[in-house]
């Protein structure tokens, strides 16, 4: 009796699984076949090329073809396994490169047969996955408060940070609720209720804001010398900073600035100088700024005064008299004379210098009464004229607010507990405090905090049905706006018109044109592209002395504006791979070595191929978040591309992976040499086979996205070879590789967007919908709004399954 030998080492099994997953992600695209092959083409393909490894004896990757060859796909049997097979065969990962390969026509026929079979079954048997009650995350909560009450105050920072799952922080399964969190909601609701109704104490108090280390210097020595620290400051400003402040009353407020300076000409004595001035403010949200005045043309002028960092030492030795401007909402309202100003060496690190360290706002002084703010207008839609009219007016107020807050028509049962609170508070105070009590209760109601969907009466367990129009409106608004539906969307839903495909498409187009669609950039793209990680990056200032917080801000703005532009103008998602334009200001253009960009304002700039930029992979934000503080990472960059652009993440590494060796035989190794040494281990080699070539192509970019030609004193080699033998070099070569796989990229982007839209992880049951959306976009030039419209029209987004 013969005995089949099985692997005995766990590491060899791991290495094999990695090779199977890595060998040909970038194989040349298979020829497209117009019609699906007949069903009988599948068994020979499986038996000839798959069964030698995937059988009942070996079960490599826990898969046996013996279980599948007799399966009728029209019954939906083993759908999860078939989806895995489809993905790997379609992109060339299976069979592995070391095994016999089917010819391209046979591979394409098998893929077409399997894909069409799975998709036909999905159309006939839609399965939108399990429904989960979802809590609003803190950003959604803050946006909902803003849109419900017309209160331009961001309360998200008053709430704990949310957990993330599947790459996003809106995933239902990870948005738990704890007693501590509920305490924070109650505290925030009280704060918001008082601010929105204006029923805050008139007693003056001080609010302090420490400015970030923005790299601004008001007395010389930096290219930032003549730059505004923020677009919220007036034109012609330099340095300084701005903060958001909510004025509780029409009153006078004292604005104070703490300067990082000496004003006493004593070089050995360091102190922080405080200057202040009183200014009138209307009740409501404002932007308060402090900045130094610049006696030259505005930022947008062609000629801009520049100081040479190499010629002016830091800190400056001589004091410089400068006027300090106070601005409100971008308009100068006062000026403070600072007769003898010199930067203190306390913050002498060149890339983290600040001139204004802190802004304090005290007040109100001499309040003149209750102001008719936008939030009061939103709340107090009626004014009682007598005691008898108070309760009807309160009912009218809470009915309008609850309808928007709960995102549906409200009933007497919804209003009863809110009105009960109103009556209790009214009995001990007055009408407006009673309304405030209702507002606070509304903001902690489960109907506001949670997205809850109901099954139709009598629906059988496991049955699938469309969500109601008002539920669809909430799905839509939290997808596109991260907030509640506006009145136009909610009214359409209440009229049961939203399920009409033409109306739904029109509403999506309207919502994408709304400024609130910027939430897709900040919340979807911010997490998909790891932009939220940029603030946590701490490049080594010794290795990269040119890095400062102003450069960091421009990096993030470039990518955010780029994504927003593609979305707003409905461009092709292939622009994310290779675009001939980007968004720059002078600071970032200087970093890239691109001439002709002046001033702090970001603007669209056409790119020349010789500038080595274009698409996401040429942007410093992406290159920085995929690097370490003092050096680049071929592995991190390659892994980022696989995960975020191709949805083909490599398997996790085995335990006890050795660290990269940076010096060998007394010689410093560059990144390529380090990884070549690392790959001498078979397990490591298997894991790096498809990550490293992608990362090597980006080695001309340093850890903060600057272009370079050498590393560790050696010329950089950006040539690479994919597992299928395809050779390429540099960013331009990598872009060609990715564009050759544009359908895989479009599918990967659709997967990410659908995950975010559904607020849950995708399963193999969702893949037919992903293919349908991606194929539709391919037929329309890969336009991004076609993908968004396809996600909204998909079965997973529109349907709900009654729990069993």
Distance CA 407, CA 414 (A): 12
Distance CA 255, CA 32 (A): 67
For residue 565, what pLDDT is reported? 98
Distance CA 711, CA 717 (A): 10
For residue 137, cis peptide bond before it (omega within 30 degrees of 0): no
Mean pLDDT across the stretch 445-465?
Answer: 93
Residue 124: how many CB atoms within 10 A of its CB?
9
Q: What is the residue whose two structure tokens read 């403070």?
A: 336
For residue 20, what pLDDT is reported? 31
For residue 261, what pLDDT is reported? 57
Q: Which SS3 state, helix, strand or coil, does residue 535 take?
A: helix
For residue 89, what pLDDT is reported? 83
CA 47 to chain centre: 45
CA 313 to chain centre: 40
Q: What are residue 43's phi and psi, to 5 degrees?
A: -55, -45
For residue 675, what pLDDT is reported? 65
Distance CA 138, CA 176 (A): 12
The 3-state secondary structure of 259-326 reads EEEECCCCCCCCCEEEEEEEEEECCEEEEEEEEEECCCCCCCCCCCCCCCCCCCCCCCCCCEEEEEEE
pLDDT above 80 (res 776): yes
Contacts of 506 (CB under 8 A, 6+ apart): none
Least confident of 129-138, 615-624, 779-788: 129-138
Least confident of 55-59, 140-144, 498-502: 55-59
Distance CA 425, CA 185 (A): 20
Locate the domains of the chain by residue range.
Answer: 10-124, 132-198+374-452, 205-365, 522-740, 742-782+791-799
Distance CA 564, CA 568 (A): 6
Q: Judge contact between 585 and 605, C-beta under 8 A.
A: no
* Burial readout 346-374 (b: 16 or more C-beta within 10 A, e: otherwise): ebeebbebbbbbbbbbbbbeebeeebebe
Q: Measured between alpha carbons, how far is residue 736 from residues 26, 446, 701, 730, 741 in Å?
A: 11, 50, 18, 10, 9
Q: What are residue 721's phi and psi, to 5 degrees?
A: -135, 130
Q: What are the pLDDT digits (tens) for 223-272?
A: 344 567 778 899 888 878 899 999 999 999 999 988 875 544 444 333 45
pLDDT above 60 (res 31): no
Of 739, 738, 692, 736, nearest to 717 by C-alpha is 692
Contacts of 595 (CB under 8 A, 6+ apart): 589
Q: What is the pTM of this model?
A: 0.86
Q: What is the residue whose two structure tokens read 């367990």?
A: 461
Residue 300: how many CB atoms within 10 A of its CB?
12
Of 164, 796, 797, 163, nearest to 528 by C-alpha is 164
Least confident of 342-356, 560-574, 745-759, 785-799: 342-356
Cα three-residue angle 456-459-464, rounded to 5 degrees: 90
Distance CA 659, CA 33 (A): 46
Q: Which two tokens stand for residue 62?
A: 């826990």
Give 35's pLDDT tier (boundaries 50, 70, 90): very low
Q: Which two tokens stand for residue 697?
A: 């192509």
Q: Which two tokens stand for residue 271?
A: 């102190």
Q: Measured between alpha carbons, how far is residue 695 from residues 22, 312, 649, 700 in Å?
A: 15, 39, 14, 10
Q: CB-side exposure of 18: number of CA atoms within 13 Å?
A: 21
Of 573, 512, 508, nearest to 783 by C-alpha is 573
For residue 747, what pLDDT is reported? 96
Of 138, 191, 189, nearest to 163 by C-alpha is 138
């Amino acid at each position: 009796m013969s005995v089949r030998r099985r692997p005995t080492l766990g590491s060899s099994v791991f290495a094999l699984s990695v090779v199977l997953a890595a060998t040909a992600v970038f194989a040349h695209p298979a020829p497209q076949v117009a019609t699906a092959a007949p069903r009988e083409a599948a068994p020979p393909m499986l038996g000839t090329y798959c069964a030698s490894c995937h059988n009942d004896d070996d079960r490599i990757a826990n898969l046996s073809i013996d279980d599948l060859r007799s399966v009728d796909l029209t019954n939906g049997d083993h759908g999860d396994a078939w989806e895995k097979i489809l993905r790997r065969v379609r992109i060339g990962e299976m069979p592995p490169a070391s095994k016999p390969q089917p010819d391209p026509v046979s591979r394409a026929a098998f893929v077409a047969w399997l894909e069409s079979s799975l998709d036909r079954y999905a159309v006939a048997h839609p399965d939108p996955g399990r429904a989960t009650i979802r809590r609003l995350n803190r950003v959604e909560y803050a946006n909902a408060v803003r849109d419900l009450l017309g209160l331009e105050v961001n309360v998200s920072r008053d709430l704990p940070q949310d957990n993330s799952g599947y790459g996003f922080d809106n995933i239902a399964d990870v948005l738990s609720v704890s007693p501590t969190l509920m305490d924070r909601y109650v505290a925030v609701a009280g704060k918001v209720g008082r601010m929105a109704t204006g029923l805050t104490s008139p007693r003056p108090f001080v609010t302090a804001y420490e400015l970030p280390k923005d790299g601004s210097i008001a007395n010389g020595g930096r290219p930032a010398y003549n730059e505004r620290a923020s677009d919220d400051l007036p034109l012609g400003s330099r340095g300084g900073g701005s903060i958001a402040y909510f004025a509780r009353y029409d009153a006078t407020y004292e604005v104070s600035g703490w300067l990082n300076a000496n004003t006493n000409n004593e070089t050995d004595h360091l102190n922080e100088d405080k200057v202040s001035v009183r200014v009138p403010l209307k009740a409501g949200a404002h932007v308060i700024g402090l900045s130094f005045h610049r006696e030259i043309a505005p930022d947008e002028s062609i000629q801009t005064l520049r100081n040479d960092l190499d010629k002016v030492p830091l800190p400056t030795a001589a004091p410089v008299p400068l006027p300090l401007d106070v601005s409100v909402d971008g308009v100068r309202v006062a000026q403070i004379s600072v007769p003898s100003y010199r930067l203190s060496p306390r913050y002498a690190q060149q890339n983290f210098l600040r001139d204004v360290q802190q802004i304090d706002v005290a007040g109100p002084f001499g309040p003149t009464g209750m102001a008719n703010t936008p939030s009061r207008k939103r709340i107090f839609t009626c004014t009682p004229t007598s005691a008898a009219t108070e309760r009807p007016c309160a009912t009218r107020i809470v009915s309008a607010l609850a309808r928007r807050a709960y995102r549906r028509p409200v009933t007497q049962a919804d209003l009863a507990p809110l009105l009960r609170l109103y009556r209790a508070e009214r009995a001990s105070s007055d009408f407006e405090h009673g309304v405030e009590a209702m507002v606070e209760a509304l903001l902690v109601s489960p109907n506001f905090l949670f997205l809850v969907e109901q099954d139709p009466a009598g629906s059988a367990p496991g049955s699938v049905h469309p969500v109601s129009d008002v539920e669809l409106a909430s799905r839509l608004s939290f997808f596109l706006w991260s907030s509640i539906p506006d009145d136009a969307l909610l009214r359409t839903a209440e009229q049961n018109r939203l399920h009409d495909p033409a109306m739904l498409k029109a509403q999506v187009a309207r919502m994408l044109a709304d400024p609130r669609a910027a939430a897709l950039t900040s919340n979807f793209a911010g997490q998909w592209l790891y932009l939220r990680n940029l603030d946590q990056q701490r490049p080594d200032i010794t290795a990269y002395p040119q890095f400062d917080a102003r450069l960091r801000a421009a990096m993030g703005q470039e990518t955010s504006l780029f994504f927003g532009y593609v979305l707003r103008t409905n461009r092709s998602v292939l622009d994310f791979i290779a675009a001939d334009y980007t968004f720059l200001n002078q600071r970032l253009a200087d970093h890239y070595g691109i001439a002709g960009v002046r001033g702090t304002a970001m603007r669209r700039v056409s790119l020349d191929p010789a500038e080595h930029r274009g698409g996401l992979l040429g942007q410093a934000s992406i290159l920085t978040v995929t690097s370490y503080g003092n050096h680049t990472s071929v592995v991190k960059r390659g892994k980022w591309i696989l995960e975020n652009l191709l949805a083909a993440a490599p398997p996790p590494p085995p335990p006890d992976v050795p660290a990269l060796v940076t010096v060998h035989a007394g010689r410093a190794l560059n990144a390529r040499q380090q990884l070549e040494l690392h790959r001498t281990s078979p397990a490591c080699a298997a894991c790096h086979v498809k990550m490293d070539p992608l990362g090597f192509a980006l080695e001309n970019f340093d850890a903060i996205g600057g272009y370079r030609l050498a590393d560790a004193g050696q010329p950089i080699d950006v040539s690479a070879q994919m597992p299928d033998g395809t050779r390429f070099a540099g960013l331009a070569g990598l872009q060609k590789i990715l564009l050759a796989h544009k359908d895989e990229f479009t599918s990967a982007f659709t997967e990410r967007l659908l995950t975010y839209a559904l607020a849950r992880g995708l399963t193999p049951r969702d893949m037919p919908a992903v293919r349908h959306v991606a194929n539709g976009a391919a037929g329309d030039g890969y336009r991004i709004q076609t993908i968004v419209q396809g996600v909204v029209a998909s079965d997973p987004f529109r349907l709900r399954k009654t729990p069993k």
